[in-house]
Amino acid sequence: MPATIESQINAIYRTESRRVRATLIRLLNDFDLAEEATQDAFAAALQQWPIEGVPQHPRAWLVSTGRFKAIDQLRRRARFHSALGDIAESLEAASSDSDDWDEQLLADDQLRLIFTCCHPSLAPEAQLALTLREVCGLTTEAIARAFLTSPSTLAQRIVRAKNKIRDAGIPYEIPGRSELPTRLDAVLQVIYLVFNEGYSATSGSEYIRQELAQEAIRLGRLVVELLPEAEAQGLLALMLIQDSRRLARLDTQGDLIRLEDQDRRLWDKEQIAEGAALIQRALPSGEAHSYCIQAAIAALHAQAPSFADTDWQEITGFYDLLLQINPSPIVELNRAVALAMRDGPATGLQLIDDLLARNQLIDYHLTHAARAEFLQQLGDREAAKAALEQALLLAPQAAEQRFLQRRLAALEK
């Protein structure tokens, strides 16, 4: 096989295989059959394209070939199960063999697949697993590693979700306008969960799982491209700006670098600018969405010339707004840190102590880490040491544990 053809096929596989599989799921109404058909289509391409040349519309060729491969496979299986022959006939009758594929229809197939995987009738963990497997194309083993689950447990979860979609007749479609707000929220939550696990892994030896963060950003771009709602734009902006700091967040040993100590020259200015432009489009919509406000806060951090020049007054204002529309202990904690930067550590310490007095975030390591910082600034070294020890006890991730250990050792000196 000529090297150029092989490299072209490999490149097309990287960019188009997910889209081909999404369309085949729509046409075949079967996740596993579509997966096999996708692989069969690319195998056929490896055989035919070096002889016939790369077709003008590779994705349409792959979809058409994959559909026929699936129909042939169903007919072969029909010798053992007659109902499969009827399915093959109906698939052939329902699908056109025309190469005149509607590009918007093909593009929408990925969005349809995301909404199917995130259907509210599926459990949240099933939505996440199915999205990573079917939309992102990650292997079962990779997903299991990311979320510290055994591959067999993860595989069972995915199988049950697929069966639920089939048995409940969950439609493979983008929901109507009346359903969109609640359905879109579930999709964005799953995408944000994927990003957060990539941005800051909940456990394990790797603190940053860049492949997960990139998949989440890819999904976010897809949703915004096909469904440019303000909240979707806000989430994409938030992910882009947070991810822009990835090269500055760890040192050469893989240890954490605090925001104030990061080399801002390593931040991705293009991603920050893209995120800021999305915020400018989303915020004037008149709808104060949580992701938009979080993105605006992230942008203020990213666009500040230095940590000392950060506009804490503006940031605390956004946290006040966020607390109104999305009240949660985590937002209160982040607001406490921002207020401490504006008004001093005593203010932050009082707000965190109020949280703990209400039995909120007691088991969250960052609560105690922030409390230790404020106590140290106020000169109470023994109380700061006790708070750091508690944070270290609760920290689930190796890089965070090493960071807290260094802080504790420095305090003890």
For residue 391, what is the domain's CATH number?
A: 1.25.40.10
Residue 88 — very low, low, confident or very high, per pLDDT cuts 50/70/90?
very low
Beta bridge partners of 250: 256
- Measured torsion, CA atoms of residues 377, 378, 381, 385, in degrees rounded to the nearest 10: -60
Q: Are residues 321 and 331 in the same domain?
A: no
Q: What is the pLDDT of residue 331?
A: 95
Distance (Å, whole) CA 130 – CA 77: 27
Residue 89 has pLDDT above 80, yes or no: no
Q: Are residues 26 and 163 in the same domain?
A: no
Residue finishing a domain among 56, 74, 97: 97
Residue finishing a domain among 271, 296, 326: 326
Q: Are residues 269 and 302 in the same domain?
A: yes
Q: What is the pLDDT of residue 397?
A: 84
Q: Are residues 118 and 183 in the same domain?
A: yes
Q: Are residues 41 and 76 in the same domain?
A: yes
Q: Are residues 160 and 54 in the same domain?
A: no
Instruction: Answer with the residue of higher pLDDT: 94 or 77.
Output: 77
Residue 97 — very low, low, confident or very high, per pLDDT cuts 50/70/90?
very low
Q: What is the pLDDT of residue 137?
A: 76
Q: What is the pLDDT of residue 185?
A: 84
Distance (Å, whole) CA 59 – CA 50: 16
Q: Are residues 373 and 286 in the same domain?
A: no
Highest averaged pLDDT of the listed ranges 25-29, 62-66, 72-76, 376-380: 376-380
Q: Mean pLDDT over residues 309-315, rounded?
A: 96
Q: Mean pLDDT over residues 377-397, rounded?
A: 94
In a domain, 214, yes or no: yes
- ∠ CA(275), CA(280), CA(285), 5° rounding? 125
Q: Mean pLDDT over residues 159-181, rounded?
A: 83
Q: Are residues 167 and 237 in the same domain?
A: yes
Distance (Å, whole) CA 183 – CA 150: 29
Residue 39 — very low, low, confident or very high, per pLDDT cuts 50/70/90?
very high
Residue 83 — very low, low, confident or very high, per pLDDT cuts 50/70/90?
very low
Q: What is the DSSP letter of 176?
A: P
In a domain, 286, yes or no: yes
Phi-psi region of 407 (alpha: psi -120 to 50; beta: other; left: phi over 0): alpha
Q: What is the pLDDT of residue 350?
A: 97
Q: Mean pLDDT over residues 385-396, rounded?
A: 94
Domain count, the chain: 3
Percent of the chain with pLDDT over 90: 46
| Residue 248, both tokens | 């500055």
Q: Mean pLDDT over residues 228-237, rounded?
A: 92
Distance (Å, whole) CA 400 – CA 406: 10
Give the chain's mean pLDDT: 86
Q: Are residues 254 and 122 in the same domain?
A: yes
Q: What is the pLDDT of residue 348?
A: 96
In a domain, 249, yes or no: yes
Distance (Å, whole) CA 215 – CA 193: 11
Give the torsion sign (CA, 226, 232, 235, 241): positive
Provide the residue range defining the domain that includes 407.
327-413
In a domain, 240, yes or no: yes
31: Cα separation from own chain's centroid? 21
Q: Are residues 262 and 335 in the same domain?
A: no
In a domain, 53, yes or no: yes
Q: Are residues 138 and 273 in the same domain?
A: yes
In a domain, 265, yes or no: yes
Q: Are residues 347 and 314 in the same domain?
A: no
Distance (Å, whole) CA 375 – CA 358: 20
Highest averaged pLDDT of the listed ranges 51-55, 142-146, 351-355: 351-355
Distance (Å, whole) CA 270 – CA 340: 31
Distance (Å, whole) CA 227 – CA 393: 43
Helical spans, DSSP H, in 78-119: 82-94, 103-117
The string over 335-366, giving b where at least 16 C-beta atoms fall within 10 Å of a residue's C-beta and e elsewhere, is bbbbbbbeeebeebbebbeebeeeebbeebbb
Q: Are 31 and 25 in contact (CB under 8 A)?
A: yes
Residue 84 — very low, low, confident or very high, per pLDDT cuts 50/70/90?
very low
Q: Are 237 and 276 in contact (CB under 8 A)?
A: yes
Residue 87 — very low, low, confident or very high, per pLDDT cuts 50/70/90?
very low
In a domain, 102, yes or no: no
Residue finishing a domain among 69, 97, 125: 97
In a domain, 103, yes or no: no
Q: What is the pLDDT of residue 77?
A: 67
